[in-house]
Amino acid sequence: FDGRMPVRAILQAFGDLVYLDPTDSRWEQCDANSAAGADGDSRGILGMVVVTGINGDPCTILLSGAIRADAKFPALTINGPCYVSETAGSITQTRPSTTDAVQRIIGAALTADEIFFRPDFFYTTNV
């Protein structure tokens, strides 16, 4: 198994951080600001889009492994942790700080534009 999974998704772009939506079994953009059970909830299964698909058509999601996205991950700090961002579908190396935002490490930077993606199931929320 190479860590990729062909699935159905709402249209996403290469490098988008997505979660498996339990209401329709599609991959949709996750967001550190989304409440538990709401659209964008980043507490469950996460993936990175590697091959896009049109709404409802198959796409390919990376569940674990390395991904390079020059336009999506510019200027990462090598070996620094990456988190779910407060911007839907994005990653950040700045720990989210908004009240109730999810703080979840999803991997670490290998280079300035490549991450080793391996989401931790542990998360906290800001109070």
Asked if the model's pLDDT at residue 47 lies above 90, the reply is yes
pLDDT, tens digit, for every residue of 23-35? 888 888 999 998 8
Q: What percent of the chain has pLDDT over 70?
A: 88
Parallel, antiparallel, or unpaired: how do β-strands 46-51 and 17-21 relate?
A: antiparallel
pLDDT, tens digit, for every residue of 50-69? 988 766 677 889 999 999 99
**C-alpha to C-alpha distances, 82 to 6, 58, 93, 104, nearest whole angstrom:** 24, 27, 5, 8
